[in-house]
Amino acid sequence: MKDLSRRQAIRLGAWGTLGVAIGGVGLSQTGLPWRETTTAGDELAHPAVLRSSGGRLEVDLVAGRHRTTIAGRDARVLGYGGTLPGRTWRVKPGDRIDVRLRNELDAPTNLHTHGLAVSPRGNGDNPFLSIEPGESFDYTFQLPDDHPTGVAWYHPHRHGTVADQLFGGLYGALIVEGDDVPASRERVLIISDISLTASGDVAPASQRDVMMGREGELLLVNGQHQPEISARAGDSERWRVINACTSRYIRFAVPGQDVQLLGRDMGGESTPRGISDVLLPPGGRADLLVALSSGTSDVQTLGYSRGGMGMMGGGLSGPATLATLRVTGDGAAESIRLAGAQDTHDLRGRPIARARDISFTMTMGMRGGRMMDMGFDGRAFDIDRIDQGVDAGIVEDWTISNPTPMDHPFHLHVWPMQVIEANGQPVGEPDWRDVVNVPAQGRVRVLVDFSRNPGRSVYHCHILDHEDAGMMAIVEVQ
């Protein structure tokens, strides 16, 4: 194991590396010759569960390649422990997670516990570590006793390899338990996408895919293409939904069913509310309570236009069927109205030590063989540069602007953000996120509490092809 060097960061962040097929066909336009053979209808499978005991969870995590079946085809993908997705980790506030990560890939990797508010130093949630092929590394993530409950997940974060490794299959759910919701059962639904070549390998990205953010031909739920979900009428189920797509936006909907939003990311709604759909940017999550009525319907993503780049075309995350929901029985669904999921503290009463303006930037050009420069505030990621130096123990007000013609999801590691304004409109109830969508030509204001977890970490676009291309920056709290 070694830290990522500046030379490696620049080399791996350049266009044309890591299997990017320059001039290749876009992944969402491949017209693969075996598309007609895709199958659907298998019962939804759930990843195996690892649960903490006595305040500790021990994980032996192996990142490697394996064979599986996707949409009726033999496929060679990436995965943790030979499964797609990896096992679901279930922990509680105050727990310690000890992970031995073994890298059996042919490229360096590391590990990010997306959504956890834990230390970024040393062997914690440190995005600057580089575990080389054949090496192992021991991580420790210590959750504070008052850590929020909710839906997190884990995936690689080695700069320059993130998009390829996530797209290939390296991801898993991480649930922080502790709140009491009267549900008949709980389901974890990890939505991802992938494209396969005719031979069953993960398809490489073209330069256009990297510029726009790749979207796969096949949408998967828990590694399956259009599975069936069997349920009983009259039951209320808790669905933990994770958007593990590299770039695709998911507008999640369950038509014909009564759905309440309990929370997004690791933030709970102060008052759960009925919804028809919820927008999940890449990396975003939703905690839902679904009151089930008899019938058959499609679980869907309704489609979302995330903008485009002129002649490069638009970035439509199109509508699609994710799964088929079959609800049988004569029971009548009774919607459970909850008074409040969890305490939602509000930073707006705290003194604001400093305001900052941060801006996404995309500049067309042909410097260094690249068609576009990506970054923040006109600068691409530099491993040796501190972009934001913050004093520990303070609250800051950040305005995140997006003057580009496409949406970008903004992700800040280990320090949750309270959204207070979106496109000039104030946000009423406390709204806590770790991924905030910033619309094209728009802006979002957030408050960030830096009273915990001093150290060095990153913020970046969660269209991960953009992050790998330089749309990431470093924040140091000390």
Task: Give the pLDDT confidence score for residue 426 in this predicted structure.
Answer: 94
Q: For residue range 136-152, list pLDDT tens digits in order.
A: 999 999 999 999 999 99
How far the first Cα of the chain sits from its last, in Å, is 25
Task: Give the pLDDT confidence score for residue 20 in this predicted structure.
Answer: 35
Burial of 193: CB neighbours in 10 Å, binned 0-12, 13-18, 19+: buried
Q: Is the pLDDT of residue 441 over 50?
A: yes
Q: For residue range 145-174, list pLDDT tens digits in order.
A: 999 999 999 999 999 999 999 999 999 999
Determine contact, residues 350/395, Cβ cutoff 8 Å.
yes
Query: Quick count: other Cβ atoms within 10 Å of Cβ 469?
Result: 29
Q: For residue range 271-303, list pLDDT tens digits in order.
A: 889 999 999 999 999 999 999 999 999 999 999
What stretch of H or E contains 290?
strand 285-291
CA distance 418 to 363: 30
Q: Which domains can be identified in the chain, with CATH numbers?
A: 2-176 (2.60.40.420), 185-328 (2.60.40.420), 347-477 (2.60.40.420)
Q: What is the mean pLDDT of residues 40-51?
A: 91
> At 336, is the pLDDT very low, low, confident or very high (cuts 50, 70, 90)?
low
The reply to whether omega before 430 is within 30° of 0 (cis) is no
Query: Quick count: other Cβ atoms within 10 Å of Cβ 82?
Result: 13
Which one, of 101, 107, 195, lies nearest residue 154 by Cα? 101
CA distance 152 to 172: 9
Q: For residue range 248-267, list pLDDT tens digits in order.
A: 999 999 999 999 999 999 99
Q: For residue range 348-392, list pLDDT tens digits in order.
A: 999 999 999 999 999 876 444 556 789 999 999 999 999 999 999
Which one, of 463, 436, 411, 473, lies nearest residue 210 by Cα? 463
Determine contact, residues 267/285, Cβ cutoff 8 Å.
no
Listed in sequence order, the residues at least 6 apart from 320 whose beta carbon sits closer than 8 Å to its beta carbon are: 219, 300, 301, 303
Q: What is the mean pLDDT of residues 195-207?
A: 94
Burial of 233: CB neighbours in 10 Å, binned 0-12, 13-18, 19+: middle
**Residues β-bridged to residue 360:** 376
Using DSSP bridges, classify how beta strands 49-51 and 88-91 pair: parallel, antiparallel or unpaired. parallel
Sign of the C-alpha dihedral, residues 204, 303, 156, 407?
A: positive
Render 19-63 in DSSP notation, one character per residue: T-BTTPPPGGG---TTGGG----PBPP---EEE-BTTEEEEEEEE
- Which pair of structure tokens corresponds to residue 17? 């590396």
Q: Is the pLDDT of residue 475 over 70?
A: yes
Three-state secondary-structure class, residue 230: strand
> At 470, is the pLDDT very low, low, confident or very high (cuts 50, 70, 90)?
very high
Listed in sequence order, the residues at least 6 apart from 36 whose beta carbon sits closer than 8 Å to its beta carbon are: none
